[in-house]
Amino acid sequence: MSLLTDSPVWQSLQDHYQTIKDQHLREMFSADPSRFDKFSIKLNDILFDYSKHRITDETMNQLCELARSTNVEDWIQRMFQGEKINHTENRAVLHVALRNMSEQVIKVDNKNVMPEVHAVREQMRALSEAVRTRQWRGFTGQPITDVVNIGVGGSDLGPVMATEGLKPYAIHDLGIHFVSNVDENHIWDTLEPLKPETTLFIIVSKSFTTQDTLVNANTARDWFLKTAEDESVLARHFVAVTDNVSAATGFGIGEKNIFRMWDWVGGRYSLWSAVGLSTAIAVGMDHFEEMLQGAHEMDEHFRTAPLEKNIPVVMALLGIWYNNFFNTQTYAVLPYDQHLRYLPAYLRQADMESNGKSRDRYGEQVDYSTGPVIFGQLGITGQHAFYQLMHQGTKLIPADIIAPVTSHHCIREHHRILMSNVFAQTEAFMKGKTEDEARAELKAEGLSGEDLENMLPYKFFPGNKPTSTILFKTLTPKTLGSIIAMYEHKIFVQGIIWNINSYDQWGVELGKQLAKNILPELEGDVEISNHDSSTNGLINYYKGLRPKRDG
Ligand code: G6Q
C-alpha cells in the first residue's frame, strides 16, 4: 500500500463511500433544503454550484482533510514562490507569473522574472497594435490581412481555444489561422486562399525542435519565398515565440522578431505568454490583459481562500471522490457557449497530459487511479449525441456544465432556449425519472396492460448522475481567464494529492523517438523486417501503395 491509500483519511473516505454510494441525490435534496447555499461558491460573476454531487457535509469535511493531510496549502505556496516543483525537469512552474498583475515580485533562482514578463508583454502590445492598425506592412507595402499561427500541442491548443472564446472582441477583417498538423492537408488548406504579400506567420515552439512545427514552418517559408523571392523581407512576415532563440535565428527570424518564453512555463500552461500572440492580435492587447487579470484574480482566490471555499480545490476534491472512490474513469466537460467549443479539447490536453501519470514523486508505481479520461463537446450538441450513454448507459460520468447568463447577441429567444436546456440537463442527470413517473407518463399517453409493462423498463432513468454547474455573466476576456486558471489549479491540486508530477510529459517521448527511427526506413523500396510483424506489415503495405513522388 502507498502512503496515500494507507493513510487514515483515505481509509476513512473508503468507509464513508460505503455509506454514500447507495444514497440518491433526490433524497439528499429533500433532506436538506439548504444544499444549494451550502454547496455553491461565488467568485466575481462566476457561480460554482456543486450541490448536485453525491456528497454530504461529512464527505466535504473528509475530502478537505485529505487535502490538508497531503499538504495542498503548502504546495500552493511552493508553486507561487517559484520552487522547482517540476522535479523531473528541475523547473519551476510559474504560469502564474505570466498573469501576475500585481506588484508582487516572483523569483526563479533568486532572480525576479517579472521585468522580463513585462517586457515581452510590451513587445506583444507593439506588434499586435501595429498589425491591427494596419501599420505593419508586408514586403509590397500592403497591410497584413491574415495571421497564421504555426505550432502544435501547447503551442496551438491554448491560442486556438482563447481566440475562439473571445471572438466577439476580435476585429473581423483580420483572418487568424492555426496550423498544427504535419499532415500537409492542414497547411495546404490554410494557405490556399491566402496571399504571401499580406500574411504574417507566427512560429510558436518553446523548444524550436518540434518536427511537426518545423516542417510546417519550412513549408510556409517556401510558400512565401516563391512569391517574395527575397530572404531579406522574411522579417516582415515571420516572427517566432520560443525559448530557443538561436534555433529561431538559425531559421532566419531576426532577434527583434523573437518573443521569449521561459523554461518555467509548461507548453500546456503557456497561453498566457507570447504563445497567446495570435489571440492578442485578434482581440487587442487590452483584452488580452483583461484575460490575464481574470486569471490573476482566480490565482489570488486559489492562493488565499480556505480549502472549503476554494473553487479549484473543491473541484479537484470532487474529481478525486469519483475517480478514486466511485472508480469512475471519465469526466465530461460540457460548455453551453458556442465560443467555448474548443474548451474540451484544450482541457483534454491540460488535464490528461498533466495527470496521466503512474509513477509518484518518489518514482514508485502508484496503487490508485490518477487522471481521468477527459472528454466533451458543446453541451447542446452532446445532448443530441452522447448524453444518452450518460443518462442510461452503464457508466457513471461526472460532468461540468458551463454556461453564460447572457450571450453577446440577443436574437429572438435563442439564449433562453439554450439555458432551459442547461437547467433541464443538470436536473435530469440528478433526478432521473422514477418507475412511477414513467408509468404515469405512459398511462397519460394511452398505454396500458402488457404494452405499458413492456415499454416501462426503457422509460425510466436512474438519475443520481453528478454534475457541477458553472454559470457566469458573459464570456468576457476576464471570465475566460478565470475559468481557464480555475481548471489549471484543479489539475495542480489533484496532482499534489496523487503525489505525481503534473508538469512533465515523458510518455509522449517514445512515439517521437520511434518515428525518428522509422522515417529513414520509409525511403526507397527495400522491404522492412526489423520490427514486429504488424509494424513491418504496415510499413511495407504503405511502401507498396504510395505514389512514387513520395518515395
Ligand atoms: C505541453 C507539451 C506539448 C508541447 C508541444 C509543442 O505541455 O509539452 O504539447 O507544447 O509538443 O512543443 P514546442 O512548443 O516545444 O514546439
| 95: Cα within 13 Å, side-chain hemisphere | 27
In degrees, to the nearest 5, what angle opens at C-alpha 390 toward C-alphas 389 and 391?
A: 90
Residues of the chain with pLDDT under 70: 549-551
Ligand 1 center from residue 370 Cα (angstroms): 22
Quick one: which H or E segment has residue 49? strand 46-49
The confidence score (pLDDT) of residue 551 equals 43
Question: Which residues, judged by CB distance below 6 Å to any ligand atom, belong to the binding site of ligand 1?
Answer: 152-155, 205-207, 210, 213, 266-268, 353, 505
Other Cβ atoms closer than 10 A to 139 = 19
Starting at the edge strand found earlier in the chain, the sheet holding 175-179 runs 175-179, 146-150, 199-204, 238-242, 258-260
Other Cβ atoms closer than 10 A to 388 = 11
- Which residue is associated with the grid cell 504574417? 200
Tell the residue nearest (CA) to atom 14 of ligand 1: 205
The confidence score (pLDDT) of residue 410 equals 84
Counting from 1 in the atom list of ligand 1, the atom nearest the Cα of 210 is 16
pTM: 0.97
As given in the structure block, the three cell numbers for residue 185 are 492537408
Among 268, 357, 491, 503, which is best to mutate for testing ligand 1, by the most ligand atoms less than 8 A from CB? 268
Ligand 1 center from residue 346 Cα (angstroms): 13
Which residue(s) pair with 179 in the sheet?
150
pLDDT tens sequence across 181-224? 999 999 999 999 999 999 999 999 999 999 999 999 999 999 99
Residue 430 Cα to chain centre, angstroms: 26
Among 88, 182, 207, which is best to mutate for testing ligand 1, by the most ligand atoms less than 8 A from CB? 207
DSSP, residue by residue, 164-195: HHTGGGS-TTSEEEEE--SSHHHHHHHHTT--
The DSSP 8-state label assigned to residue 373 in this structure reads E
Counting from 1 in the atom list of ligand 1, the atom nearest the Cα of 268 is 7
The confidence score (pLDDT) of residue 549 equals 63
How, if at all, do strands 146-150 and 330-335 pair? unpaired
Among 206, 242, 262, 513, which is best to mutate for testing ligand 1, by the most ligand atoms less than 8 A from CB? 206
Nearest-10 crossing angle of helices 184-191, 211-228:
30
* 3 state SS of 53: coil
Active site residues: 353, 384, 512
Task: Judge whether 466 and 59 are in contact, CB under 8 Å.
Answer: no
Whole-number Cα distances in Å, 6 to 1, 2, 17, 161: 6, 6, 16, 40
Whole-number Cα distances in Å, 242 to 121, 155, 213, 247, 248: 14, 10, 12, 9, 7
As given in the structure block, the three cell numbers for residue 120 are 515581452
Tell the residue nearest (CA) to atom 9 of ligand 1: 153
Ligand 1 center from residue 519 Cα (angstroms): 21
Residue 521 Cα to chain centre, angstroms: 36
- For 279-330, give the secondary structure using H, E and C: HHHHHCHHHHHHHHHHHHHHHHHHHHCCHHHCHHHHHHHHHHHHHHHCCCCE
DSSP, residue by residue, 444-463: HTT--HHHHHHHHHHH-B--
